[in-house]
Structure 1
């Protein structure tokens, strides 16, 4: 088992397989990566090798993200390579490219999907996503994924533009048996003006969930509160910024499209470059890089420390 200097176990990899995306969402944190497009340096086989080595170290969960992971032509192969070493391969997606591909992803071994669904109103959806008109394709993709046995969870970033849709999103999710992540907007890579205009605290949402739910638990991963709704679905609240409780139970390493390990969403440096080790199938080198990254990890938000102005 991998454990960092703060006693936190590390058992998951969040892998950005590309920085390209067919959307331009106003709130996108771009996985904490600054600058323009990043080189997609790794092949499907490279990701398979990463999984093979990581699993030996105790990493059991792999989440593919981007950008939009489905813009990669070989994304089904990426899933298949990783899934040959673990049962827990998930993906976060805007869902617009799911129709016609959900079945192949399921067959390759994809077990779970997080689909971004920040509005069911076409005009609000276009505003949030930078002009996309593909809401119907997203909803179709959700249905196709469910038809092929892939578990789907919805991601809903709370903003002033969509706050009034919370209940309709939960109703939609309840009708299909989908859990929901309610995510607080964070300032990372969000244009300052957009952040000021759209940020709203999730406190009113939490108050609503406290009243509307029939039970509450806390997820071990990142100390996320989970509300059980009357329909049986679970609504999870993600406060990713200024939240020491989340950092205290974070179990994640991140990988950039270049093949660099990133120790935290909010930390640009240091990176641990394992790209050449993966390409050369250097197991010892990959192990050394992972262990180095685990050693460098530390909670970004700590109790009693106000770093919002950092």
Structure 2
């Protein structure tokens, strides 16, 4: 069992396989995105070794993230090999653009659930937000995922007050009518941005629930998940409506997860810079799972108790989500 210094059981990791994207999302608002040199990124074999070490230490759930994970050449090797481990869940976060190509193979590899980022249903606004993306790509990806038969498909939307908050009812109705779950996420202060004021754009989960209550009859769900989402349900629909609230409803006390970036940094908290360099261990001791597991266990003693986000336009964490892992 993997336990941090506060007694929290760590049974979930987010493993980022690349920092590259085919189009950006609301999280990555930099004027220019920069990417790591290839040699700094973990190889596919190293990614599998990290996943295997965590599972041997007691982790039960692995989520593959990026950047956009499905643009990594040969990425199915990671899914195929991790899918053979004794996991409760192997899941994926994606922007959906590559799902028409990969959905069936992912399901065959053992992926049960996927999260698809979708911040707007307006094609023009979607192109504006992503700079190069086409909404039709994502909608085609959602259809491919539905056809592949994943147990659950969830949409994720980062909500900004003056950018897409007015679209929350439409996004919700789309999800409900398609039989999809959806989670609305408060913006996190990651990376330096110039496109908006974080304080002015912040939209709390409570505000969104009040907005949705004008359109749907909402009731909180009793069942708790191991993740940060708190779920509600609308009358006459089976889908869940989630709210991820790192600012307004801090969930650090029950945190059960860590992240591994594409360059092998074990990030112990999304809202802090505490990290351990697993790439250095992997390359100093190739094939030595024991040394890797020791490094992971030692790092757990430095996982902070909580983060302290605020709405300042000065970045509290310099890295963007493409290097953190979504």
Shared fold per TM-score greater than 0.5: yes
User: 2: distance between equivalents of 1:225 and 1:184?
Assistant: 13
Indicate how the Cα distance of structure 1 residues 259 and 29 shifts in structure 2: closer, same or farther if over 3 A, else same: farther
Counterpart for residue 81 of structure 2: 81
Structure 1 counterpart SS, 2:221: strand
1:248 alignment partner in structure 2: 253
Conserved 8 A contact 1:119-1:162: yes
Over 3 Å counting, the alpha-carbon distance change for 1:38 and 1:136 in structure 2 is: same
1:286 corresponds to which of 292, 298, 301: 292
- The C-alpha deviation readout for 1:187-222, integer Å capped at 9, x for no partner, is 211515424464333332122456621343363435
CA-to-partner distance for each residue in 1:140-176, whole Å, 9 max, x for gaps? 1111112111231100111222111111111111122
Q: Does 1:268 align with 2:277?
A: no
Of the three residues 173, 176, 187, the one matched with 2:175 is 173
In the alignment, what sits opposite 2:323?
Answer: none
CA distance in 1, matches of 2:48, 2:27: 31
Task: Say whether residues 1:92 and 2:108 are aligned partners.
Answer: no
Gapped regions of structure 2 (runs ≥ 5): 317-326
Q: Distance in 1 between matches of 2:29 and 2:93?
A: 13
Which structure 2 residues correspond to residues 111-150 of structure 1 after superposition, within 5 A?
111-132=112-133, 134-150=134-150
Q: CA deviation at 1:301?
A: 2.9
Map 1:190-205 onto structure 2 (within 5 A).
191-196=193-198, 198-205=201-208
Q: Runs of 5+ in structure 1 lacking a partner?
A: none
Give the drift of 1:269: 3.7
Greater Cα shift, 17-26 or 40-49: 40-49
Change in CA separation of 1:146 and 1:222 when aligned onto 2, cut-off 3 Å: closer
Distance, in Å, in 2 between the alignment partners of 1:181 and 1:105 is 22
Q: Deviations over 1:102-146 (max 9, x none)?
A: 1112112222111001111111211222242x2112111111112
Alignment of 1:163 onto 2:169: no
TM-score normalised per structure 2? 0.84
Q: Is the 8 A contact 1:272 1:293 kept in 2?
A: no
Kindly state the Cα deviation for residue 88 of structure 1 after the two structures are TM-superposed: 1.2
Name the CA distance, whole Å, in 2 between partners of 1:8 and 1:87: 19
| Distance in 1 between residues matched to 2:35 and 2:306, nearest whole Å | 24
**How many residues are treated as equivalent by the alignment?**
302
Question: Are the structure 2 counterparts of residues 108 and 223 from structure 1 closer, same or farther at C-alpha, using a change threshold of 3 Å?
Answer: closer
Alpha-carbon contact 2:247-2:310 (below 8 Å) kept: no
> Residue in 2 aligned with 1:37?
36
Please give the root-mean-square deviation of Cα atoms over the aligned residues, in Å. Answer: 2.5
Q: What is the SS of the residue equivalent to 2:36?
A: coil
> TM-score, normalization: structure 1?
0.88
